[in-house]
Chain A
Amino acid sequence: MTERVAPSTDPSELPEPDVAIEWLRTMMLIRRFEERAGEMYAKAKVGGFLHLAIGEEATIVGSTRALRDQDYLISTYRSHGHALARGSDPDRVMAELFGRVDGLCRGRGGSMHMFDLEKRFMGGYGIVGGNLPLAAGFALASDYLGLDEATLCQFGDGASNQGTFGETMNLAALWSLPVVFMITNNQFGMGTALERHSAVTDLLRKGEGFGVPGMRCDGMDIADTYKVTTEALKIAREERQPVLVEAVTYRFRGHSMADPEEYRTKEQVDEWRKRDPLAVFGDQLVQAGILGEDERETMDRETVERIDQAVAFADASPHPSPNDLYDDIYVLGDQVRGWYSVDERTPTPHRGEDEHGMDRADLPQSAEHAEASGGDDGGGAAAPTPTDDAQRDED
């Protein structure tokens, strides 16, 4: 088995000092956040699956920094870093991992399903390959509405084998949509090495047959990733030509927290660790005199303190109330006046309401609820929570 190691490129040209420092700070934020998330998982503060992006920070930050505020970003279940890079509040990202009400998604999504509409971070998705069609859909809406927006869609090397990959490449090219697809090639789909899962290992070529040209960047080099993504986005926007970018990178940790890593050698990991984007880029800045060694340490300390704060925030945030269980399944309105209008199972309260001792008089009685929730004026719902929700949706 050949082991693919990204070539050590000459350090790409550094950006302006303040930009370079912001890049480093953001990569550091992601690294320290991920490390702490892992610790919180070990302490059982975080449940479910936890996929860390340690090692992939240059790919994440370099590519997202090529986006403008109005552009859309969409990613996978490995996307705490994408949310942070896009500017989501670390407190709320951590609270989402903790499953709390102040989480980005109010504790509904967890680690795999981050989402921050305000930042145009259009989500992490738990279905491998499921996010590609959505990305093309965002680009379709931008194009249809004549808005100057582009979409950056990130997914893994493993996802490039899904049917949606080919389908979406073809459609995006056919309809000239402003979208850049980025394969975060971290060399593995779970425990299956690239050479063992893809007949074509030059992943940048996988779009060619569908009319999507490919580019490659060194995903361990933030400046190179930034440069190539910027170029790709420019082509997508200006020439209405979708582009596939392969970012060659590596994840230093296991696929998820439950990964004994029997599919790779320690030597391989060590080899890649020499290219640790956080260390390498930090060294570069120090050597270039942009940052003093002491300043780097201060930055690190401040970052750790920021994460301390996020953990404290998450821990203090309450768990969702059982009364929230049925919120936000539907947009409530004239046709769907509450969850009870689509779940007719029983005239008695659903679990949750019952446990919380809600006044039964406030709950719909199946046979009567149609009258209770009223005529054409909508609203008027019997259960308090859905009514509140209807109001919130009126904007």
Chain B
Amino acid sequence: MRYREALNAALREEMERDPDVLLMGEDIGVFNGAFKVTAGLLDEFGERRVRDTPISENTIVGMGVGAAMTGLRPVVELMTINFSLLAMDQIVNHAASIRYMFGGQVKVPLVVRMPQGAGHQLGPTHSHSWEALYLHVPGLLVAVPTTAADAKGLLKSAIRDDNPVVFIEHEYLYGQRGEVPDDEDFTVRFGEAAIRREGSDVTIVGISRMALTAARAAKTLSEEHGIESEIIDPRTLRPLDLDTILTSVRKTNRLVIVEEGWPHGGVGANLAALVQEQAFDDLDAPIQRVTGADVPMPYSKPLEQIAFPHEPQVIDAVVATFKDRP
């Protein structure tokens, strides 16, 4: 099953399971979704539960917040993560803060789905990777599924959770296939990292699509450099399964973090701080970060390709952790 079909199955199953789940978003109904994640759901569930909205990101997210406060479990789709900035006010000032600022009187069981990622030559307004922006915000949960199974299992958990969830999908991953359990009770719990490959020499944490890039790099590293990598996909960034990462680092004594987003204030910057605070003595080399280039995403194909990480950069970063230092 493809990643997008897995998401579709999660939505369908949760809508069948809970009549209070409804979908809102631009072109999710008649058009079947900009990335076809919601294909067929309008026909199946009707206009009451699958709502095409006008192009009003802040307001559709805000309506989701309001509806979540008063008993529903809305799932709002934003066409890309870039457009989510128009809804930043409702996501950060409202969804994330309301429970806290009102002293715990209400909850906001809202899911806001959005895809990110470069590689389709969409330029600087459609291609960014911003999990770090949402990771920054207390009150939100943040999911970054990589595999089809995780896409399904995490989305189901997100819908059932009573907290606002920013659910970050990846445009490249939509077409990727993977084994997905049919079981309607299959869910993936937030806060549990997946170890994609075991290895004793270096820990590589890969976020979203970068978990796949890291896995390919690991193959080359093993074959050509004799380095065995342990690949960890955190799957959710809030909550973060730091323990799995620390346990791995204590074993391998080396850490490389790979993400598609910008370097400054990125996921890797944060994670590197956490790891050095708690496992400094276990590190045999400085932590390496592989990130997207510190530029708005260019349109030009060759420029875009060098603006986000590929295997060679991951391999170089891993090898660097083995360099003798003066």
Contact = CB atoms under 8 A, between A and B. Distances in A.
B31 interface: no
B238 interface: yes
Given A130-B62, A130-B89, A137-B65, A342 B138 contact: yes
Question: What 10 A-B pairs have minimum CB-CB distances, sorted nearest first?
Answer: A137-B66, A133-B62, A106-B103, A328-B104, A167-B59, A134-B66, A105-B103, A167-B56, A331-B162, A115-B102
A132 B138 CA distance: 23
B310 interface: no
Interface of B: 20, 22, 48, 51, 53-54, 56, 58-72, 74, 89-90, 93-94, 98-107, 109, 138-139, 141, 157, 161-163, 189-191, 238-243, 246-247, 274, 277-278
Interface in A333-386: 333-336, 341-347, 366-370
B70 A141 contact: yes
A335 B62 contact: no
Interface stretch (A168-176, A261-269, A296-304): A168-176
Given A106-B104, A347-B278, 16 more contacts: A105-B103, A109-B103, A122-B66, A133-B59, A133-B65, A133-B90, A134-B66, A164-B59, A167-B56, A171-B54, A171-B60, A336-B163, A341-B239, A342-B138, A346-B277, A366-B278
Interface string A142-170: 10110000000000000000011001101
Contacts of A50: none
Nearest to B64: A137
A130 B66 CA distance: 11
B63 A137 contact: yes
A72 B70 contact: yes
5 contacts: A127-B94, A133-B59, A136-B59, A329-B139, A333-B162
Contact of B66 (A135, A329, A342): A135
Contacts of B103: 103-109, 115, 328
A97 B59 CA distance: 30
A235 to B, nearest CB: 21
A113 interface: yes
Contacts of A331: 99, 107, 109, 161-163
Nearest to B274: A344
A345 B102 contact: no
Nearest to A125: B94
Nearest to B275: A344
Contact of B161 (A105, A109, A139, A333): A333
A344 B66 contact: no
Contacts of A327: 104
Nearest to A343: B138
Contacts of B53: 171
B65 A134 contact: yes
Contacts of B161: 331, 333, 335-336
Contacts of B278: 346-347, 366-367
A134 B243 CA distance: 38
Nearest to B245: A344
A365 to B, nearest CB: 10
B26 to A, nearest CB: 12
Contacts of A336: 141, 161, 163, 190-191, 239
Contacts of A393: 104, 107, 162
A115 B104 CA distance: 10
A123 interface: yes
Contact of B190 (A174, A329, A335, A369): A335
Nearest to B95: A134
Contact of B101 (A109, A334, A342): A109
A133 B54 CA distance: 13
Nearest to A344: B242
Given A130-B93, A344-B240, A167 B191 contact: no
B74 to A, nearest CB: 8
B242 A134 contact: no
B69 to A, nearest CB: 7
A389 interface: yes
A145 B71 contact: yes
A109 B94 CA distance: 12
A341 B191 contact: yes
A263 B58 CA distance: 32
A108 B72 contact: no
Contacts of B51: 175
B123 to A, nearest CB: 24
A134 B238 CA distance: 25
Q: Choose among A137, A344, A345 the residue with the greatest number of B CB atoms under 10 Å from its CB.
A: A137
Interface in A33-53: none
Given A330-B163, A345-B277, A366-B242, A170 B56 contact: yes
Contacts of B54: 167, 170-171, 174
Contacts of B48: 144
A315 B208 CA distance: 51
Contacts of A274: none
A23 interface: no
Q: Choose among B102, B163, B239 the residue with the greatest number of A CB atoms under 10 Å from its CB.
A: B102
A70 to B, nearest CB: 11
Contacts of A106: 103-104
B76 to A, nearest CB: 10
A329 B138 contact: yes
A392 interface: yes
B252 to A, nearest CB: 16
